[in-house]
């Protein structure tokens, strides 16, 4: 090779390396054979190198040759290549084309068309059919389900920052809340972010001082001040940019979603799932592990999926878990069965919620037949840390039908329902959801029977809603009247009261008796015990009550006392 040509190729290589390393600084692509981006990156690198090589050696392809290639006259040009001397730029172009062709073929052969059973087995090995009533204790109050959706959390969370004048001008709230398990209770957390580049530059030495914590059960929010501020964040720049920091430490990792979480030590962390493909190179996406990054110090640690610390809540995100269950539901009988006969083909519904138990966050969603849109054949709980999937064969209404049914109960108020979860009320699988006003704030609760979704109860408190729902279960002979009067053991208070005044009010179509005694208010759903209407002013009652708030009690049962 002549020295001038060698120098031309050297300049082309150096310029290409500079350009692509600069591009990678912004694109942050993984260098992994299982990532399609890598194949495209390599093919583009070869094309650009070939272009610069021909440019510097002043031997660009002739216009008629380029036009011939664009028109698809490959065979004629290949025959022509036999008569020509193969050059390095030409070999690079051929290699780029070959890389793209191989990538497309591998993508095809990695698809469910050729690997239906393998796709089904990715989640199939983790699925167990369980009994819902045995797994789920009877609910009296709901403190383990994130009934609030992200939209409502964003509204409530903004209140916590809005009251802090020194922060609101410099920072904003990251809208992507993470659902975590905090002491066995659901909690949504999200970090503050720099409002823009100029505010980052002004505050880069001090860092981000805290995060927002939203309680989706109590509908409250709180700003948490950190002892050590966060330095690495999505809104940081240069080396402190979170994804750039992770990418330059793990060049080959295929990152999935990155979630903000709070560790057992109270420190803020980012948890980035690391993905792999189980089928050939491009098929069957699954999680192989996580990278945990300390948001304050930038220290990172990789864990294989079976060794992830128990305080980490989100390893498998809800979308990936739903996709993996769909692979099982669609392809367990083979690919062509999923297209034609569709025997026993099933899929999850379009959304999901979260439930806390076993010290983990579980994703809840319904399962429906692919040939039915109005009913579910069961539902699944999927562990977002371990990937375990529990299937419950409970046929009933599909979630969106239930949501419309609950909204119909309060159509005069214009409330909209959140995506529901399922609880156990006296052995009856029951959907629970919140009803939001047009501003996205939670106003009421709603309970609907899974199988008979015409049985609906709404109320402003959980206790009131559950009491109404039990009454309707009794009316429909699904439970006994005695069961409808029972409340959580250990939470009931036994009191003796004298009725100073009694009044009856109708709320949401239900009649309530309100008793006043010594400045305290006692109320009871009349349908729980119609003999309440026989109570008169001056009567003494022995009552079992549940305190809703200070000075206001809900009556579970009562008995008249002698004079």
How many structural domains comprise the chain? Answer: 5
Q: Are strands 428-436 and 421-425 parallel, antiparallel or unpaired?
A: antiparallel
Q: Are strands 540-549 and 493-498 parallel, antiparallel or unpaired?
A: antiparallel
Range of the domain at 427: 399-485
Q: 503 and 463 in one domain? A: no
Q: 309 and 247 in one domain? A: yes
* Helix or strand holding residue 362 (H, E): strand 360-369
Rounded Cα distance, 190 and 223, in Å: 10
Q: 306 and 253 in one domain? A: yes
Q: 479 and 555 in one domain? A: no
Please indicate, yes or no, if residue 119 is contained in any of the structural domains: no
**pLDDT score at 391:** 96
**pLDDT score at 83:** 52
Q: 404 and 375 in one domain? A: no
Q: 186 and 157 in one domain? A: yes
Please indicate, yes or no, if residue 118 is contained in any of the structural domains: no
Per-residue pLDDT of the chain (563 residues; tens, 9 = 90+): 555 788 888 999 999 999 999 999 999 999 999 999 999 999 999 999 999 988 887 654 555 555 554 555 545 554 554 555 668 888 999 999 999 999 999 999 999 999 999 999 999 889 999 999 888 888 777 877 888 888 888 888 888 887 787 788 899 999 999 999 987 789 999 999 999 999 999 999 999 999 999 998 888 899 999 999 999 999 999 999 999 999 999 999 999 999 999 998 889 999 999 999 999 999 999 999 999 999 999 999 999 999 999 999 999 999 999 999 999 999 999 999 999 988 989 999 988 989 888 889 999 999 999 876 678 999 999 999 999 999 999 998 889 889 998 998 888 888 999 999 999 998 899 999 999 988 888 888 999 999 888 899 988 888 888 888 888 888 888 876 555 555 434 356 888 999 999 998 876 556 788 999 988 999 887 866 788 888 999 999 998 887 777 788 888 788 888 75
The three-state DSSP-derived secondary structure of 200-260 is HHHHCCCCEEEEEEEECCCCEEEEEEEEEEECCECCCCHHHEHHHHHHHHCCCCEEEEEEE
* 8 A C-beta contact, residue 286 and residue 277: yes
Alpha-carbon separation of residue 363 from 3, 5, 145, 348, 403 (angstroms): 64, 61, 10, 12, 18
**pLDDT score at 183:** 79
Q: What is the SS3 assignment for 117? A: helix
Q: 530 and 425 in one domain? A: no
**pLDDT score at 2:** 56
* Helix or strand holding residue 556 (H, E): strand 552-560
Q: 547 and 508 in one domain? A: yes
Q: 30 and 156 in one domain? A: no
Domain stops at, among 378, 394, 410 = 394
Can you name the residues that pair with 552 across neighbouring β-strands?
A: 521, 549
Please indicate, yes or no, if residue 476 is contained in any of the structural domains: yes
**pLDDT score at 212:** 94
Rounded Cα distance, 526 and 510, in Å: 8
Q: 522 and 388 in one domain? A: no
Alpha-carbon separation of residue 427 from 16, 133, 137, 351, 461 (angstroms): 68, 6, 9, 25, 21
φ, ψ for residue 338, nearest 5 deg:
-70, -20
Question: Residue 497 maps to which CATH number?
Answer: 2.40.50.140
Please indicate, yes or no, if residue 130 is contained in any of the structural domains: yes
């Amino acid at each position: 090779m002549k020295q001038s040509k060698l120098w031309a190729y050297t300049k082309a290589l150096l310029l290409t390396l500079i350009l692509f390393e600069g591009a990678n600084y912004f694109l942050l692509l993984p260098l992994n054979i299982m990532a399609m981006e890598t194949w495209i990156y390599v093919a583009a690198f070869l094309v650009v190198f070939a272009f610069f090589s021909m440019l510097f050696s002043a031997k660009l392809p002739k216009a008629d040759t380029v036009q011939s290639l664009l028109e698809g006259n490959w065979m004629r040009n290949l025959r022509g290549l036999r008569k020509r001397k193969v050059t390095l730029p030409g070999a690079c172009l051929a290699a780029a084309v070959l890389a793209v062709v191989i990538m497309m073929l591998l993508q095809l052969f990695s698809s469910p068309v050729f690997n239906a059973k393998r796709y089904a087995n990715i989640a199939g090995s983790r699925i167990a059919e369980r009994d819902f009533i045995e797994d789920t204790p009877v609910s009296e109050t709901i403190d383990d389900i994130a009934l609030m959706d992200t939209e409502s959390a964003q509204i409530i969370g903004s209140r916590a920052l809005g009251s802090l004048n020194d922060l609101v001008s410099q920072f904003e709230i990251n809208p992507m809340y993470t659902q975590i398990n905090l002491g066995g209770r659901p909690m949504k957390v999200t970090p503050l972010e720099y409002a823009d580049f100029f505010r980052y530059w002004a505050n880069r030495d001090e860092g981000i001082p805290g995060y927002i914590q939203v309680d989706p059960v109590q509908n409250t929010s709180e700003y948490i001040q950190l002892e050590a501020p966060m330095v690495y964040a999505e809104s940081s720049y240069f080396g402190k940019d979170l994804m750039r920091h992770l990418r330059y430490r793990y060049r080959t990792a295929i990152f999935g979603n990155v979630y903000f979480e709070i560790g057992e030590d109270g420190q803020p962390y980012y948890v980035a799932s690391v993905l792999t493909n189980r089928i050939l190179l491009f098929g069957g996406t699954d999680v192989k592990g996580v990278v945990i990054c300390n948001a304050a110090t930038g220290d990172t640690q990789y864990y294989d999926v079976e060794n992830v610390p128990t305080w980490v809540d989100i390893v498998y995100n809800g979308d990936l878990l739903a996709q993996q269950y769909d692979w099982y539901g669609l392809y367990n009988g083979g690919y062509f069965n999923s297209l034609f006969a569709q025997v026993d083909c099933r899929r999850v519904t379009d959304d999901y919620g979260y439930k806390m138990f076993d010290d983990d966050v579980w994703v809840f969603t319904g399962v429906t037949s692919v040939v039915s849109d109005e009913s579910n054949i069961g539902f699944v709980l999927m562990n977002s840390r371990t990937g375990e999937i529990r299937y419950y064969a409970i046929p009933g209404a599909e979630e969106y039908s239930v949501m419309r049914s609950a909204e119909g109960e309060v159509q005069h108020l214009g409330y909209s329902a959140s995506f529901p979860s399922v609880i156990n009320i006296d052995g009856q699988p029951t959907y629970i959801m919140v009803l939001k006003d047009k501003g996205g704030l939670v106003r009421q609760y709603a309970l609907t029977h899974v199988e008979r979704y015409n049985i609906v109860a709404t109320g402003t408190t959980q206790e009131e809603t559950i009491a109404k729902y039990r009454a309707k279960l009794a009316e429909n002979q699904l439970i006994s009247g005695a069961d409808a009067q029972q409340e959580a053991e250990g939470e009931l208070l036994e009191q003796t009261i004298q009725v100073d005044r009694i009044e009856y009010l109708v709320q949401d179509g239900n009649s309530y008796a309100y008793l006043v005694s010594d400045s305290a208010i006692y109320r009871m759903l009349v349908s729980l015990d119609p003999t309440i209407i026989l109570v008169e002013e001056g009567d003494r009652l022995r009552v079992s009550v549940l305190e809703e708030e200070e000075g206001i009690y809900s009556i579970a049962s009562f008995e008249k006392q002698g004079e």
